[in-house]
Amino acid sequence: MKIAVKNFALSTALLATLGACHAAPVQTASDIESMKQQLLSVQKTRESENANLDNFDDLDFNVYSGQKWDQLARSHSKDIVVHYPDGSVTRGLDPHIEQLKPMFVFAPDTHIREHPIKIASGDWTAVQGTLEGTFTKAMPIGGDKTAPPTGKGFKLTMVTIGHWQNDVMDEEWLMWDNQSFMKQIGLAP
């Protein structure tokens, strides 16, 4: 009988110990409040990321394609730094606009209608688009000279990486293949 009681007591103690090992950790009110705050922070970041991507869509599909230069400040800071595929850099919104305008001189139908890839992470966006148009007007090439239009269309994959601060980009990297562009419009072999 004593052995049975000892075994029962030992079994009970063992079960209690095993049960304690498998018990769920207790969440304090402070832990729960901390998790709620973390969730709110993640939700706020996601909302900001989506707003930046929506702003970017409007920038390319409406503002850039429609040459609505007076609306560029909705997506670009007045002090934006922009890096171009040829290695040049502009500082400020007005110099950036002046860098964008020449494309429309020789290809007035230039447009971007799609962003097949859009990525956002915190203050960063990366967007791939398709830049299309037709070389239908004389292209200024410097020194009061122009290249005659070839009538050839172009379709370029372009990528823009943007850093966002206060709902606008403060720095932007534009990338496309200039050699492919020149070949497509008939100005390079």
pLDDT at 9: 57
- Report the C-alpha gap between 31 and 36 in whole angstroms: 9
Asked whether the predicted pLDDT for residue 3 surpasses 60, the reply is no
Give which of 81, 43, 58, 46 is closest to 169, Cα–Cα: 81
Find out whether 178 and 85 touch, Cβ atoms under 8 Å.
yes
Tokens 């496309």 belong to 176
Domain for residue 98, yes or no? yes
- Report the C-alpha gap between 147 and 135 in whole angstroms: 10
Asked whether the predicted pLDDT for residue 174 surpasses 60, the reply is yes
Q: What is the pLDDT of residues 101-136, one digit of tens each?
A: 999 999 999 999 999 999 999 999 999 999 999 999
Domain, as residue range, for 99: 31-184
Count structural domains, the chain.
1
User: Which residues does residue 168 pair with via DSSP β-bridges, in sequence order?
Assistant: 165
Domain for residue 13, yes or no? no
Domain for residue 64, yes or no? yes
Domain for residue 1, yes or no? no
Span 143-147, mean pLDDT? Answer: 93
**What's the angle, vertex CA 78, arms to CA 132 and CA 54, rounded to 5?**
50
DSSP 1-70: -HHHHHHHHHHHHHHHHHHHHHSPPPPPHHHHHHHHHHHHHHHHHHHHHHHHHHHHHHIIIIIITTT-GG
Asked whether the predicted pLDDT for residue 15 surpasses 90, the reply is no
CATH code of 134's domain = 3.10.450.50
Mean pLDDT, all residues of the chain = 90
Asked whether the predicted pLDDT for residue 98 surpasses 80, the reply is yes
pLDDT at 16: 63
Domain for residue 23, yes or no? no
- Report the C-alpha gap between 90 and 95 in whole angstroms: 6
Q: In 3-state terms, what secondary structure has residue 184?
A: helix
Asked whether the predicted pLDDT for residue 158 surpasses 80, the reply is yes
Domain for residue 74, yes or no? yes
- Report the C-alpha gap between 75 and 73 in whole angstroms: 5
Domain for residue 22, yes or no? no
Span 73-100, mean pLDDT? Answer: 97
pLDDT at 154: 97
Find out whether 87 and 174 touch, Cβ atoms under 8 Å.
no
Token duo for residue 123:
């203050």
- Report the C-alpha gap between 171 and 169 in whole angstroms: 6
